A = this chain, B = another copy of it.
Amino acid sequence: MRHIISIGDFDRDGINRLLDHAGQIDRKKYDAQALDGKILAVLFFEPSTRTRLSFESAIARLGGTSLTVGSVEACSIAKGETLADTIRVVSGYADAIVIRHPKEGAARLASEFSTVPVINAGDGAGQHPSQTLLDLYTIRQSMPIDGINIALIGDLRYGRTAHSLASALSLYNARLHTLCPRGLELPETLSARLEEQGMEIIAHENITDIIPEVDALYVTRVQRERFPDSASYFNVASSYRITPELLADAKKHLIVLHPLPRVDEIDPRVDEMPHAKYFEQSRNGVPVRMAMLMQVMQ
Contacts and interface: CB of A to CB of B under 8 A. Distances in A.
A53 B88 contact: no
Given A85-B262, A89-B279, A260-B89, A60 B49 contact: no
Interface in A251-298: 260-263, 268, 279, 282-283, 285-286
Interface of A is mostly: helix
Interface in A157-196: none
Interface in A22-63: 32, 37, 39, 41, 47, 49-50, 53-54, 56-57, 60-61, 63
A39 B61 contact: yes
Contact of A260 (B41, B81, B261): B81
Contacts of A39: 57, 60-61
A60 B88 CA distance: 19
Contacts of A286: 92-93
Contacts of A92: 279, 282-283, 285-286
Given A85-B260, A89-B260, A286-B93, A37 B32 contact: yes
Contact of A60 (B65, B76, B77, B81): B65
A261 B80 contact: yes
A80 B260 CA distance: 9
B89 A50 contact: yes
Contact of A47 (B60, B73, B82, B93): B73
Contacts of A61: 37, 39
A262 B80 CA distance: 8
Contacts of A81: 260-263
Contact of A49 (B76, B82, B91, B282): B76
21 contacts: A37-B61, A39-B57, A47-B73, A49-B73, A49-B74, A49-B76, A53-B67, A53-B69, A53-B90, A53-B93, A54-B93, A70-B70, A70-B73, A80-B263, A85-B260, A85-B261, A88-B279, A88-B282, A89-B260, A91-B283, A92-B283
Contacts of A67: 53, 56-57, 60
Given A37-B32, A49-B77, A53-B67, A89 B263 contact: no
A39 B53 CA distance: 11
A72 B72 contact: yes
A201 interface: no
A203 interface: no
A236 interface: no
A94 interface: yes
A117 B127 CA distance: 35
A286 B41 CA distance: 14
Contacts of A73: 47, 49, 70
A69 B49 CA distance: 8
Nearest to A77: B49
